[in-house]
Amino acid sequence: MLSRYEIQKILKLLRKEVVPAIGCNEPRMVAFACAKAREVLGREPEMVKAKLSGHIIKYAMGVGIPGSGGMVGIPAAIALGTLAGKTELGLELLNDITPEDCERAKQFVADRRWSVIQARNTFEIVYAEVKAVAEGHQAKVIIAKDYCNIVYIKNDNEVLVDERSSLATEHDRNHESELSMAKIFEFSTKCPLDELQFLLSGAHLNKKVAEMAFCPEADYGLNLGKMLKGEFEERMVGQNAMPRVVSYTCAATDVRMSGVPVPLSTNSGSGNQGIAVSLPILVFAEETQCTESKTMRALAIGNLVNIYIRQLLGKLSAHCSCVLAATGAACGITYLMGGSYEQITYAVKNQLAGATGMICDGCKPSCVLKLSSAVSSAFQSAMMAMENIHVASTDGIIEDDVDKCIDNLASIGRDAMLEVDNVVLNIMTDKHFF
């Protein structure tokens, strides 16, 4: 049985990892480094050179920049951060950019006042090294480990900050978690409801974003969410709980990947993961008229399952995190269906057996297709679990112990797929976007 201390510890973790945010962290980190370099330089740079880890390049290459009028990717992040970023706002530094800023940034990009190369001299997953040059002077800024963690600042020949000795010399492979499926279930079913209200508010925030895509004049991303609610699609598949769950999830993803500057409830630093966990649970709860109290407990289960997987998987993976996040949705939906703890573990096994192996090739509009597949699979996994159908321990990576299943999945994504990640990144950078 969980102690009061353990319940508070898990609640603190949940509040830390499920928060509202605007846009993707990776391009905002690049913008932040550029804005800081401009600030140190004391004038507008003539040229900005960025050296980024493969992780940052992959996730920032194809995603829209919120409020930029359709600008996409790393060059846009460099230009906007350099010209208009406000470092005092941290990762929200682009919240107040104007149309004039965007026009200047587009010209900055067109004039090739920027360059990007991959950093090969660091083991850090989160790494951005930016050099800004103007009138014979230069400033250098390095951010590493975390998206706002400045470890080095140099202005011409004067070193102002140097904390590079704190950086790791190799990947941290000792990923551990104090969570377990049993702890997650006990916490979620016993935590005072008033402590979980923020999860419901966050899910409703994501639903509002999804509804933006359903407007007749809306045109976001691939418009998959909107399409799935169309008349033709309704004749083909009907309008019941499952297609509604998928359409709302896809709609919110379409909006987010288009770079619309609206806040979303995230999970583990990712808006898409927040969508994949919360919207299937909320929409299913509304479709089946579940109580708010049961919905909040289902959201707690779903969000914590994703946090658990991410803790074991780590930040670097060639595995699509949104697909794995739908495992949390499968668990939450099973709970809403009246499922027991054992049936929730069945849902995990079913989802992991089907989801293992889908690669991540960065943040971009087509992520919506992966979320569509993942959420459809999550719904199916939950229905199978309710019929006491589950993948056997003789199959692939699945074992009798549900926590061991998650550990196996994380090991594949964290370690075995590292070379896959390198190949994916090489394919992406060979498109000569830079």
Partners of 264 in beta bridges: 21
Please give the residue range of the domain that contains residue 66: 25-166
Residue 411 dihedral angles phi and psi, to the nearest 5°: -65, -40
Number of Cβ within a 10 Å radius of residue 434 = 15
Listed residue (12, 11, 14) closest to 278, CA to CA: 14
Domain-embedded: residue 8: no
Domain membership flag for residue 367: yes
The pair of structure tokens assigned to 197 is 């209200």
Q: What angle do CA 94, 98, 104 make, to 5 degrees?
A: 95
Question: Do 47 and 181 belong to one domain?
Answer: no
Query: 188: closest CA among 345, 7, 334?
Result: 7
148, 166, 184: which is the final residue of a domain?
Answer: 166
Compute the distance between CA of residue 357 and CA of residue 428 in angstroms, rounded to an integer: 19
Same domain for 143 and 184, yes or no, is: no
Please check whether residues 222 and 343 belong to one and the same domain. Answer: yes
**Residue 181: inside a domain:** yes
Report yes or no on 308 lying in a domain: yes
Distance between CA atoms of 387 and 400, rounded to whole angstroms?
18
pLDDT at 315: 63
User: Nearest 5°: CA angle at 426, between 423 and 430?
Assistant: 145
Same domain, 148 and 231: no
Let me know whether 84 and 44 are in one domain.
Answer: yes
- Left if phi > 0, otherwise alpha if psi is -120 to 50, otherwise beta: which for 356? beta
Tokens of 291: 């109580």
- Which CATH number is 386's domain given? 1.10.4100.10
Assigned domain for 150 exists: yes
pLDDT at 40: 97
Q: What does the alpha-carbon distance between residue 84 and residue 101 come to, in Å, rounded to a whole number? A: 6
Please compute, for residue 42, the number of CA atoms within 13 A of its CA located in the half-sphere on the CB side: 7
Q: pLDDT in tens for each of the 434 residues of the chain?
A: 899 899 999 999 999 999 988 888 899 999 999 999 999 999 999 999 999 998 899 888 888 888 888 898 999 999 999 999 999 988 888 888 999 999 999 999 999 999 999 998 787 888 999 999 999 999 999 999 888 899 999 999 999 999 988 775 544 445 678 899 999 999 999 999 999 999 999 999 999 999 999 999 999 999 999 988 877 666 666 667 888 999 999 999 999 988 888 889 999 888 999 999 999 999 999 999 999 999 999 999 999 999 999 999 876 577 888 889 999 999 999 999 999 999 999 999 999 998 878 888 888 889 999 999 999 999 999 999 999 999 999 999 999 999 999 999 998 888 888 788 888 888 888 876 66
Q: Are 83 and 55 in a shared domain?
A: yes
Together in a domain, 207 and 140? no
Give yes or no: residues 121 and 214 share one domain.
no
Q: Given 134, 166, 198, which residue is the final one in a domain?
A: 166
Q: Which of 109, 144, 166 marks a domain boundary?
A: 166
Please give the sequence-ordered ranges of beta strands (E in DSSP) within 191-274, or none if there are none: 264-265
Rounded distance between C-alpha atoms, residue 364 and residue 12, angstroms: 31
CB 277 within 8 A of CB 141: no
Residue 184 lies in a domain: yes
Identify the CATH number of the domain in which residue 103 sits.
Answer: 3.30.1330
N-terminal to C-terminal alpha carbon distance within the chain: 54
pTM: 0.89
* Number of separate domains in the chain: 2
- Over the Cα atoms of the chain, what is R_g? 22
For 72, the token pair is 């996409």
The DSSP call for residue 38 is: H
Mark whether 144 and 210 lie in a shared domain. no
Joined together, the tokens standing for residue 222 give 């691939």
Residue 371 confidence (pLDDT): 94
Residue 226 lies in a domain: yes
Region of 405 (left: φ > 0; alpha: ψ -120 to 50; beta: rest) is alpha
Residue that the structure tokens 């996040």 belong to: 325
Could you give the angle at the alpha carbon of 431 between the alpha carbons of 58 and 254, nearest 5°?
55
* Pair (88, 145) in one structural domain: yes
Residues comprising the chain, all counted: 434
Among the listed residues 251, 238, 315, the one whose alpha carbon sits nearest the alpha carbon of residue 279: 251
DSSP-assigned letter for residue 196: S
Are residues 67 and 149 both part of a single domain? yes
Indicate if 47 and 162 belong to the same structural domain. yes
Task: Indicate whether 239 belongs to any domain.
Answer: yes
